[in-house]
Structure 1
């Protein structure tokens, strides 16, 4: 594995936070957060809904200069202003090298990124942006195809890639293919920070996994995570679990 690291650590500027009783600072994960140190290749943020992993991921992305709704560093559009102020209270400790590429990909607003690409290309200023995504309109592909086209064509290596629940649009087979693409890009001096619910994706070797819960943020091995254990229990004894779920 290569050891290019663009983001080393984030620190929460706790002394500047006006109140830990208001969102997002009232989230259990933020109440106890001091700092997180990232793996030079791949780091996962996992946990149940509402624990703050996507909120923190968005804050990391905006602190690095990405548009809150996603895209590359030069995307500067807004269809709604709903991101939290958390990014203003993060200190990002960066590595020596600067990334040559970067992308913030989030499932919930990818449609807006695709629309912005089409709008910019209609204005006809220079080379078509869509060509770096494979040349086919992202709106003319399924959600999963458009996502995977972005991984395959737009991510060029030597970059920092922030992904928010990429599995939302991907089949299990595509998730496995995504692992291959992540590995290729890691070999090309790339770093990933990914919020995910997928045990397939979080199985990437040697990755650092931070699990968000009511107790705060704790580093886990894959086999220790709730996501992995629940899926394993289900497939080890599907009938018993279904009986419990459907019959009370």
Structure 2
């Protein structure tokens, strides 16, 4: 894919494979890492999709840390650690940036968002997130509050499974908000399992299956499985219920 622009915030990530002594140990043994050489990002939205355990989140986390975000998430101004669990992969990545710096950004990790919400309260900056503590909202509503109130244009957003707390209708709300932010000059890099979220039309989708392959949205395994289930629910349930 050679559609990147000089003024996008993040153009390419490269794995410095020559510095890795062995691909048999974690995190280098993960499928996503073993098969990574370079990955070009769309100037608007890039999706990374694939099965559980392939290493999507590990790669996304490493990209975010290499860019300067806190490992547990938040803006680049966040600097806290609840538990040091991130891998050393970030030390082996080379990021190729555009000529333009983002005005802001956010690294969202669904699994550690509770810790980020706690830090927001401790810092007394809830006003930037809608004026109400994220802990005083449901998990899903706190995600939407983040998207609506904190996210703005001309920024870089790295999101790991943002659908984790969102109902289908709220995922559509996120799509609409994401489009608004893209139109205002923001760039998104997203790891997701959601066929709704990955439907964003002006995007590139990388499917991780024996390597990173650029695919059309409707050719992803996620879309195909969901389509088959929705269109043939009774038959699929019969197959599933009789498979154990």
TM-score bracket, normalised by the shorter chain, equals: over 0.9
Partner of 2:232 in structure 1? 237
Given that 1:133 and 1:150 are in contact with CA atoms closer than 8 Å, whether structure 2 keeps it comes out as: yes
Given that 1:3 and 1:40 are in contact with CA atoms closer than 8 Å, whether structure 2 keeps it comes out as: no
Partner of 1:217 in structure 2? 212
Unaligned runs of 5+ in 2: none
Given that 2:6 and 2:98 are in contact with CA atoms closer than 8 Å, whether structure 1 keeps it comes out as: no
Q: Determine if the alignment matches structure 1 residue 68 to structure 2 residue 71.
A: yes
Given that 1:211 and 1:218 are in contact with CA atoms closer than 8 Å, whether structure 2 keeps it comes out as: yes
Map 1:98-247; keep pairs closer than 5 Å: 98-121=101-124, 129-213=125-209, 215-247=210-242
| Secondary structure of 1:10's aligned partner | strand
In the aligned structure 2, how far is the partner of 1:51 from the partner of 1:28?
Answer: 5
Shift of residue 18, structure 1, vs aligned partner: 2.2
Shift of residue 27, structure 1, vs aligned partner: 1.2
Shift of residue 164, structure 1, vs aligned partner: 0.5
In the aligned structure 2, how far is the partner of 1:30 from the partner of 1:15?
Answer: 13
RMSD: 1.1
Given that 1:73 and 1:103 are in contact with CA atoms closer than 8 Å, whether structure 2 keeps it comes out as: yes
Q: 1:4 to 1:96 in 2, by over 3 A?
A: closer
Partner of 2:38 in structure 1? 35
Given that 1:4 and 1:189 are in contact with CA atoms closer than 8 Å, whether structure 2 keeps it comes out as: no
Given that 2:75 and 2:107 are in contact with CA atoms closer than 8 Å, whether structure 1 keeps it comes out as: yes
Query: Higher relative CO (CA 8 A, sep ≥ 6), structure 1 or 2?
Result: 1
| Secondary structure of 1:219's aligned partner | strand
Structure 1 runs (4+) greater than 3 angstroms displaced = none
Shift of residue 3, structure 1, vs aligned partner: 8.4
Partner of 2:89 in structure 1? 86
Shift of residue 119, structure 1, vs aligned partner: 1.3
Which stretch shows the higher mean deviation, 3-12 or 86-95?
3-12
Given that 2:63 and 2:93 are in contact with CA atoms closer than 8 Å, whether structure 1 keeps it comes out as: yes
Shift of residue 247, structure 1, vs aligned partner: 1.6
Q: 1:3 to 1:222 in 2, by over 3 A?
A: farther
Unaligned runs of 5+ in 1: 122-128
Shift of residue 4, structure 1, vs aligned partner: 4.6
